[in-house]
Chain A
Amino acid sequence: DQQVKQNSPSLSVQEGRISILNCDYTNSMFDYFLWYKKYPAEGPTFLISISSIKDKNEDGRFTVFLNKSAKHLSLHIVPSQPGDSAVYFCAASYGSGAGSYQLTFGKGTKLSVIP
C-alpha cells in the first residue's frame, strides 16, 4: 500500500507558465513533507519543505501548499523555466522534522517545461 501518491507520472508546461505538481498521502501520522528534484542518474536534491502546522511555504519561485484535511499537498513553480525539467518527488516523514527520520517517497512526476 503506497502511503505517498503522485498520480500524475508526467506533466508538460509552457515556459513562463505555472507548474502544479500534486501529491496525496494516506498516513495521518506524517507531519513533515518535502519536495525533491531529481535528474537522471543523480541523487535527489532538496527543493522545499513544509511542516504540518503550516499550510503554505514559499521560497522564490517554489511554493508548497498543504491541505491536511484532504491529505493533499502541491508544489507550484512559477514562472516555470526549461531548467526545471526533471522528476519531482514528494516525500513525507513523521517525527520532529525530516532530519533523523525515514522518508517515504511518491513515485515522482516528470515535469517537462517547453521553451
Chain B
Amino acid sequence: GAVVSQHPSWVICKSGTSVKIECRSLDFQATTMFWYRQFPKQSLMLMATSNEGSKATYEQGVEKDKFLINHASLTLSTLTVTSAHPEDSSFYICSAPTIHEQFFGPGTRLTVL
C-alpha cells in the first residue's frame, strides 16, 4: 500500500524555539495533505488541510501564525510549530489521501520543555 513518512519521529525542544515536521508521500503524489494533533486519550483533531500550490486552510481555533504549513511539492508538506510552548506538546500526525483512502504517517511526538 501507499506509504507516508514523517520526520522526525520525536523531538524535544526548549520553549520559544521553532520545530519543523515533515510529511512525505513516498510512492504517490498528494495535492492535499492533512495535519492532525492528538492529545493523550483524546481523538485525532484535524488542525489544517495542506494544499499544494496554495495556502493551507485551518480549522477553527488553530492559529495559522503559530502552526505554519507549507506544501512545497506534490510529495512534501511541512508543519512548523513556531515559538513552541509546553502546551504545544502533543503527537502530530499527517495523512495523505489517494482516491480510495487516506494513509497516515507514523506521527511525531513533540515535547516542549
* A residues neighboring B (CB under 8 Å): 2, 4, 9, 34, 36, 41-46, 49, 89, 97-108
**In contact, B43 and A46 (Cβ under 8 angstroms):** no
CA distance A34 to B104 in the complex (A): 13
**In contact, A44 and B44 (Cβ under 8 angstroms):** yes
Knowing A43-B93, A45-B104 touch, does A99 contact B99 (C-beta < 8 A)?
yes
**In contact, B106 and A43 (Cβ under 8 angstroms):** yes
CA distance A98 to B36 in the complex (A): 16
**In contact, B99 and A43 (Cβ under 8 angstroms):** no
CB<8 Å pairs between A and B, sample of 27 = A4-B43, A41-B91, A41-B107, A42-B107, A43-B4, A43-B95, A43-B104, A43-B107, A44-B44, A46-B103, A49-B101, A89-B43, A97-B99, A98-B97, A99-B98, A100-B32, A100-B97, A101-B97, A102-B34, A103-B46, A103-B95, A103-B102, A104-B46, A105-B45, A106-B43, A107-B43, A108-B43
Per the CB 8 Å criterion, the residue count for chain B at the interface is: 27
| Other A-B pairs, 13, CB within 8 Å; known A41-B107, A43-B6, A49-B101 | A41-B91, A41-B109, A44-B104, A89-B44, A98-B102, A99-B99, A100-B97, A101-B97, A102-B49, A103-B34, A103-B46, A103-B95, A105-B43
CA distance A108 to B41 in the complex (A): 8
A-B CB proximity, top 8 nearest: A43-B104, A107-B43, A99-B97, A105-B44, A105-B43, A43-B106, A99-B99, A43-B107
* B-side interface mostly: strand
CA distance A44 to B44 in the complex (A): 10
Q: CB-CB contacts of B85-112 with A at 8 A, as 1s and 0s?
A: 0000001010101111111111101000
CA distance A101 to B101 in the complex (A): 10
B60 close to A (CB within 8 Å)? no
How far, in Å, is B67 (CB) from chain A's closest CB? 16
Q: CB-CB contacts of B18-34 with A at 8 A, as 1s and 0s?
A: 00000000000000101
